[in-house]
Structure 1
Amino acid sequence: MNLTLSAIAALVQGELHGDGSQAMTGAATLATAKPGEITLADNVKLARQLAASAASAVIVPRGFAPEGRPFIVVDNVHAAFAKVVQQFRPQRPKRAVGVSPSASISASAQLSAGVEIHPLAFIGDDVEIGEGAVIHSGVRILEGCKIGAGTTIFPNAVLYDNTIIGQRCLIHAGAVLGSYGFGYSSSTGKHVLCSQLGWVEIGNDVEIGSCTTIDRGTYGPTTIGDGTKLDNQVQIAHNCRVGQHNIICSQTGMAGSSSTGDYVVIAGQAGLRDHVHIGDHSVIGAKSGVMGDVEPKSRVVGIPATEERFQYSCVVAVHKLPDLRHQIVKMQKQLDALQAQALASTQACGDSREAA
Structure 2
Amino acid sequence: MELSLTSQEIAAIIEARATRGATTETIRDIASLATARAGDISFLGNPKYKAEVPACAASVIILPIDYDGEPRPGQLYLHVDNPSAALAKLCARIEQLLWPRPAPGIHPSAVIAPTARIAASATVGPLCVVEEGAVIGERTHVEAQVFVGRHAAIGDDCWLMPGVRVASECVVKNRVRLQIGVVLGSDGFGYEFINGRHEKVPQVGRVLIEDDVEIGANTTLDRARFSQTVVGQGTKIDNLVQIAHNVVIGKHCLICSQTGISGSVTIEDYAVLAGQVGVAGHLTIGRGAKITAQTGVNANVSPGATLKGTPANPYMFEQRINVLRQRLPELFQRVDRLEKKFPAEKTSSDA
- Residue 348 of structure 2 corresponds to none
Pairing 1:192–2:207 present: no
Distance between the aligned counterparts of 1:9 and 1:105, measured in 2?
Answer: 45
- Residue 133 of structure 2 corresponds to 126
Pairing 1:286–2:293 present: yes
Deviations 1:238-291 (A, max 9, x none): 111111111111111001111100011100110001111100000011111000
Do the aligned partners of residues 232 and 334 (structure 1) sit closer, same or farther apart at CA in structure 2, a change above 3 Å counting?
A: same
Query: Which amino acid counterpart does residue 110 of structure 1 have in structure 2?
Result: R
Query: Which amino acid counterpart does residue 50 of structure 1 have in structure 2?
Result: V
Distance between the aligned counterparts of 1:238 and 1:59, measured in 2?
Answer: 44
What's the secondary structure of 1:328's corresponding residue? helix
What's the secondary structure of 1:186's corresponding residue? strand
- Residue 206 of structure 1 corresponds to 213
Pairing 1:166–2:173 present: yes
Contact (CA 8 Å) 1:280, 1:297: kept in 2 or not?
A: yes
Q: Displacement, 1:22? A: 4.8
- Residue 351 of structure 1 corresponds to none
Pairing 1:35–2:38 present: yes
Determine what percentage of the aligned residue pairs are the same residue.
Answer: 36
Do the aligned partners of residues 302 and 60 (structure 1) sit closer, same or farther apart at CA in structure 2, a change above 3 Å counting?
A: same
Say how many residue pairs are matched: 337
Q: Displacement, 1:85? A: 5.8
Contact (CA 8 Å) 1:43, 1:64: kept in 2 or not?
A: no
Contact (CA 8 Å) 1:155, 1:174: kept in 2 or not?
A: yes
What's the secondary structure of 1:191's corresponding residue? strand
Do the aligned partners of residues 323 and 192 (structure 1) sit closer, same or farther apart at CA in structure 2, a change above 3 Å counting?
A: same
Q: Displacement, 1:149? A: 1.4
Select which of 23, 26, 35 maps to 2:25: 23
After TM superposition, the structure 1 = structure 2 runs for residues 178-189 of structure 1, keeping only pairs within 5 Å, are: 178-189=185-196
Distance between the aligned counterparts of 1:82 and 1:243, measured in 2?
Answer: 25
Select which of 213, 233, 240 maps to 1:226: 233
Distance between the aligned counterparts of 1:8 and 1:125, measured in 2?
Answer: 46
Select which of 231, 234, 245 maps to 1:238: 245
How high is the TM-score relative to the length of structure 1?
0.87
Q: Displacement, 1:67? A: 5.3
Which ranges in structure 1 are unaligned for 5 or more consecutive residues?
A: 340-356
- Residue 112 of structure 1 corresponds to 119
What's the secondary structure of 2:194's corresponding residue? coil
Do the aligned partners of residues 108 and 57 (structure 1) sit closer, same or farther apart at CA in structure 2, a change above 3 Å counting?
A: closer
- Residue 247 of structure 1 corresponds to 254
What's the secondary structure of 1:244's corresponding residue? coil
Distance between the aligned counterparts of 1:2 and 1:203, measured in 2?
Answer: 35
Pairing 1:136–2:143 present: yes
Query: Which amino acid counterpart does residue 116 of structure 1 have in structure 2?
Result: T
Alignment RMSD: 2.4
Query: Which amino acid counterpart does residue 68 of structure 2 have in structure 1?
Result: A
Q: Which has the larger radius of gyration?
A: 1
How high is the TM-score relative to the length of structure 2?
0.88
Query: Which amino acid counterpart does residue 79 of structure 2 have in structure 1?
Result: V
Which ranges in structure 2 are unaligned for 5 or more consecutive residues?
A: 346-351
Do the aligned partners of residues 310 and 146 (structure 1) sit closer, same or farther apart at CA in structure 2, a change above 3 Å counting?
A: same
Distance between the aligned counterparts of 1:191 and 1:143, measured in 2?
Answer: 28
What's the secondary structure of 1:201's corresponding residue? strand
- Residue 323 of structure 1 corresponds to 330
